[in-house]
C-alpha cells in the first residue's frame, strides 16, 4: 500500500482544477484524482458570451491554457501529474471507508476511488426567479 496522500477532487469546471493544481503545489508526491461528469475540463464558461457573439469561432478556445494547450486529461497528467477522469459521475461518498463510488458514463463500469482528503467543487445551480420572461 502506498503511503502517498490520496486527494480526490469532484468537479472539473473552474474550482476543481484549481484545487487539484494547488494540492499538487502543496504536496508533489500526492496521488490526485479529478472527477468530472462532462467531457470537458476547466471550461472557461465566462467566455461563452464572446463565443456566441462571434468574437471567435473555435469553441475549443474556451478549453485552452494561456499557452494554447487544450486542458484535457493528457494535459493534466503531463503538466500537473493529476489523473483527470472525465465522463465519470461520482455516485456516492462513503465517509467511513473514505471512498468515492464512481461510474464511467461511457461504459457503465463502477469503481471506488479511495481518498485521504476530498474536495467538493461541483459548482452551483442558478436560481431562476418566477418573473415574466424568465423562461425565454
pLDDT tens digit string along 2-22?
789 999 999 998 899 999 999
Whether this model's pTM surpasses 0.75: yes
Under the banding of pLDDT at 50, 70 and 90, the label for residue 1 is low
Q: What is the pLDDT of residue 120?
A: 97
Contact (CB, 8 A) for 26 and 36: no
Residues facing residue 82 across a β-bridge: 32
Q: What domains, with CATH codes, occur in the chain?
A: 6-120 (3.50.50.60)
- Per-residue pLDDT tens for 55-95? 888 877 888 887 888 888 898 999 999 999 999 999 999 99
Please determine, for residue 126, whether its predicted confidence score (pLDDT) is greater than 70.
Answer: yes
Across all residues in the chain, what is the average pLDDT? 91
Q: Which has more confidence, 124 or 23?
A: 23
Amino acid at each position: 500500500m502506498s503511503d502517498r496522500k490520496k486527494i480526490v477532487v469532484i468537479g472539473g469546471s473552474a474550482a476543481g482544477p484549481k484545487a487539484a493544481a494547488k494540492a499538487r503545489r502543496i504536496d508533489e508526491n500526492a496521488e490526485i484524482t479529478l472527477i468530472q461528469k462532462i467531457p470537458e475540463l476547466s471550461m472557461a464558461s465566462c467566455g461563452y458570451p464572446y463565443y456566441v457573439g462571434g468574437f471567435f469561432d473555435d469553441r475549443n478556445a474556451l478549453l485552452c491554457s494561456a499557452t494554447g494547450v487544450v486542458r484535457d486529461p493528457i494535459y493534466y497528467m503531463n503538466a500537473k501529474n493529476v489523473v483527470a477522469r472525465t465522463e465519470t459521475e461520482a455516485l456516492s461518498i462513503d465517509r467511513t471507508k473514505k471512498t468515492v463510488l464512481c461510474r464511467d458514463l461511457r461504459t457503465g463500469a463502477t469503481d471506488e476511488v479511495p481518498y485521504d482528503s476530498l474536495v467538493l467543487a461541483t459548482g452551483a445551480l442558478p436560481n431562476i426567479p418566477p418573473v415574466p420572461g424568465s423562461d425565454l
